[in-house]
Amino acid sequence: MSETAPAAVKKPSRNEELKTAIPTLAGNLAATLNDPAALCFSADDEQFMKFHGIYQQDDRDLRKAGKHYIWMIRGRIPGGVLSSKQYLVYDRLATTFGNQTLRITSRQSFQFHGVVKSGLGPLMKQLNEAMMDTLAACGDVNRNVMAPPAPARNGLQADVLADAHRISLALMPKTKAYHSIWVEGVQLDLDAPENKDFVDPLYGQTYLPRKFKAALAIQPVNDVDIFTNCLGYIAIEEDGKLTGYNLTVGGGLGRSHGNEETYPRIADVIGFLTPDQLIEISQNVLKIHRDFGDRTNRKHARLKYVLEEKGAAWFRQELETRLGYRLADAKPYRFEKQGDHFGWDTAADGTRFLGLYVEAGRVKDKDGYRLKAALVAIAQRFGPEFRLTPSQNIIIAHIAAADQAAVTQVLADHGIPVAGQATAIRRASMACPSMPTCGLGLAESERYLPTLMTHIEGLLAEVGLADEEIIIRMTGCPNGCARPYMAEIGLVGKGPGRYQLYLGGNEACTRLNRLYKDVVKDPELVDELRPLLTRYAKERVGGERFGDWVARAVWTTTTAATN
């Protein structure tokens, strides 16, 4: 008998069992969809639905009166670019089947919220009939691929956007269940030869251990927050032409309160590749996650943990072995800022584009502010392109120079100013949805940040910094959907009305911030920030940003609070 018992073999998670049992991801979705008496989908089907871009939720404001089921649907919109025709379909579906709003996400997509069960089938069918889809917008697969949204100032942007589309297509799951359920409205025929022993050619039978995220960036603007992605490409140019990309791997932000095994992580820069290598490298990075990610613990299953535990050198070697060739070394690169462009500007082709601030990414009509109606009017009259940004804002692109004033007028008629859209600090803020739709929210976020920003604007004026931009991001829980761990001030929900306060990210979003205070109650947030901002106003050197001042003056004199 051996002296020590063998280490217990950890059991794969429930999601792994589900994927193994039904690799087509069909679940029992069509039957429940077509059964008017069924109020909701089963717990197992909830997991399958995610791969189809759909979340089963319940309205948390109404919970006291019982569960009121609603569905959230997320689009697959690589690089966030939509034609006017496509935009009008999104708008119409949100009006007919959703809660009359469209939510621009922090990964350049749209979400419908508040869709009722009877609207789910028609919404999905009509979206697909308009040649758009939601496949793989959620689930253990590659998610919406991000790319810089600003229209081309040189040849680079169009190439990078085209590469975002190539990656998105190459990493799509191949199951026929999506088409069968949402377009044909019937359960997938599991006896058909192509479905019987279906195994996805890229993902295998069990897909990935967890979600996978990819983005492309054009330096010096890090608008896509490249280092927070599992897979990233930093464009390298020569004479305005794309020569290739630096590959980044292993970023991610999600964590859980009180669980030291979970943490945000900045990606490693692995090497350089040419555009013709892009697809095989993307697929092989994904396969390394597939083969080495932790399938026993979903909180520890992202690619970032493989990188952290095995190291960047190991990763590069594993990738090169799979590719059968060596990667070139990474080229020098430099990021200077993140964020969006606001107001009118001119693209390389001479057309005009307009960056519009959208509070918390919510396209809606409320009181005198009628953004939703204005965008419809602009789409119908001028036919521009709509570009969703990773900071939840929108760019109206390809407007003829002669139409610029008319577009400005349409917006003004709907209560939307083009000049002075919001203060610099408000424009640089982001919040995740949290209440009432997100089942994981611990504290308010989207509904609370605007009020808090008004108080912070007052505080900035009080200390003489009214025009200062400070990146503030809030989330209702530690999952990090609005990327709070990269912000100069990050607020992370801990419980109702309570937030963790993180400080010290930088303008280029290349540095993680640190926990400054573990619990701050919402009425005390401004008082907590007052002494810091007062000191910053006095001590900053030149145009030093708040986050850089924190890193210089606060981090060196305080010990980080504990998780």
Interaction between residue 388 and ligand SRM (CB under 6 A) = no
Residue (of 82, 136, 69) closest to 108 by Cα position: 82
The item of ligand SRM, ligand SF4, none sharing an interface with residue 477, based on CB under 5 to 8 Å by kind, is ligand SF4
Angle (deg, nearest 10), helices 371-382 and 84-97: 140
Entry field: residues in the chain: 563
In degrees and rounded to multiples of 5, residue 78 shows phi and psi of: -55, 130
Q: Tell me if residue 230 is catalytic.
A: no
Q: Tell me if residue 213 is catalytic.
A: yes
Q: Give the nearer residue to ligand SRM in terms of CB position, either 353 or 485.
A: 485
Q: Residues 255, 481, 483, 509: which is the catalytic one? A: 481
Q: Residues 76, 107, 117, 143: which is the catalytic one? A: 143
Q: Tell me if residue 316 is catalytic.
A: no
Interaction between residue 106 and ligand SRM (CB under 6 A) = yes
Q: Give the nearer residue to ligand SF4 in terms of CB position, either 148 or 433.
A: 433
Minimal distance, residue 559 CB to ligand SRM, in Å: 26
Minimal distance, residue 110 CB to ligand SF4, in Å: 15
Q: Which stretch binds ligand SF4 (CB under 6 A): 29-37, 224-232, 283-291, 473-481?
A: 473-481
Residue that has been written with the tokens 């009008």 in this structure: 88
Interaction between residue 477 and ligand SF4 (CB under 6 A) = yes
Minimal distance, residue 194 CB to ligand SRM, in Å: 29
Q: Tell me if residue 74 is catalytic.
A: yes
Residue that has been written with the tokens 């001042």 in this structure: 549
Tokens of residue 71, six digits: 């569905």
The item of ligand SF4, ligand SRM, none sharing an interface with residue 351, based on CB under 5 to 8 Å by kind, is none
Minimal distance, residue 348 CB to ligand SRM, in Å: 27
425-464: which residues touch ligand SRM (CB under 6 A)? 432-433, 437-440
Q: Give the nearer residue to ligand SF4 in terms of CB position, either 120 or 432.
A: 432
Three-state secondary structure string covering 248-303: EECCECCCCCCCCCCCCECCEEEEEECHHHHHHHHHHHHHHHHHHCCCCCHHHCCH
Q: Residues 19, 107, 210, 211: which is the catalytic one? A: 211
Q: How distant, in Å, are the alpha carbons of 74, 200, 427 from that of 77?
A: 9, 22, 23
- Given a contact cutoff of 8 angstroms between Cβ atoms, the answer to whether 93 and 112 are in contact is yes
The item of ligand SRM, ligand SF4, none sharing an interface with residue 476, based on CB under 5 to 8 Å by kind, is ligand SF4
66-85: which residues touch ligand SRM (CB under 6 A)? 72, 74
Interaction between residue 476 and ligand SF4 (CB under 6 A) = yes
What would the DSSP string read from start to end of 184-210?
Answer: I-S---TTSHHHHT--BTTTBSS--SS
Coil, helix or strand at residue 69: strand
Q: Rounded to whole angstroms, how far apart are CA atoms 276 and 207? A: 25
* Residues carrying an active site annotation: 74, 143, 211, 213, 432, 438, 477, 481
